[in-house]
Amino acid sequence: MSYLKEGIESFVEKYPFLCINFHERDQESDNKPPAQETKPEGQPLLSPFESKLLYSLSRFPTEMLEGKIFQGNVYNANNKKQLQDLGIKSIVEFIDYKDQPIPEYKVQNFTYKNIPIDNETAAFVDFDEICQYIDDLVKDETKSPVLIVCKVTRTFIMILNNLKIRMEIQLVHVSQLLIKCGIKDHL
């Protein structure tokens, strides 16, 4: 992970929600009454430490270009807390929602674009236009970082390849990013 090269302090500063202080757990357990079979009405099932621990273990999007581009899934695009914690300002989804409405908070709170793509329609998409749009978002600091969400692996590879050319990302880095995202079989 690149942030560890800069030291743990840098990582904790950028991603405090991924870091767990086990001293918090110990302090919390020192102040806890004996365990109960059931929680009283209105009390949360998890302690603040347990909630933070579970959240830190959830799957976060992959940071493709530091502070600029994240690649994630539908869960990431619909997790308001993750979007807020990562500072996501724009979302570009390549998902066919079919009859489901796009959540209103995405349109209201983010620069949002949905491009419905599936295996049949991917061949007819203008990837130059899409990548120009993403490139414009990335260059505008008021609109980046950008979360890119693709269900079709080929779509993501085509976008990443085009962005590689536009942003002068070295081919070695693109290959590493694809491997990190579990797409190495498509190289």
Domain holding 66: CATH number?
Answer: 3.90.190.10
Which residues span the domain enclosing 104? 62-186
Q: Give the end of a domain, one of 13, 41, 57.
A: 57
Reduce the secondary structure of the chain to three states and give it as a string.
CHHHHCCHHHHHHHCHHHCCCHHHHHHHHHCCCCCCCCCCCCCCCCCHHHHHHHHHHCCCCEEEECCCEEEECHHHHCCHHHHHHHCCCEEEEECCCCCCCCCHHHHHHCEEEECCCCCCCHHHCCHHHHHHHHHHHHHCCCCCCEEEEECCHHHHHHHHHHHHHHHCCCHHHHHHHHHHCCCHHHC
Question: What's the confidence (pLDDT) of residue 116?
Answer: 82
pTM given for the model: 0.73
Judge if 87 and 148 occupy the same domain.
yes
Q: Of 22-26, 36-40, 168-172, give the range with the top mean pLDDT.
A: 22-26
165: CB partners within 8 A, 6+ apart:
none
Q: What is the pLDDT of residues 166-184, one digit of tens each?
A: 565 544 454 555 555 544 4
Residue 164: pLDDT over 50: yes
The fraction of the chain above a pLDDT of 90, given in percent, is 18
What is the SS3 assignment for 115-136? CCCCCCCHHHCCHHHHHHHHHH
Selection from 15-24, 74-83, 161-170, 176-185 with the highest mean pLDDT: 74-83
Identify whether residues 72 and 150 lie together within a single domain. yes
- Per-residue pLDDT of 115-150, as tens digits, reads 887 666 655 667 778 878 888 898 899 998 999 988
Q: How many domains does the chain have?
A: 2
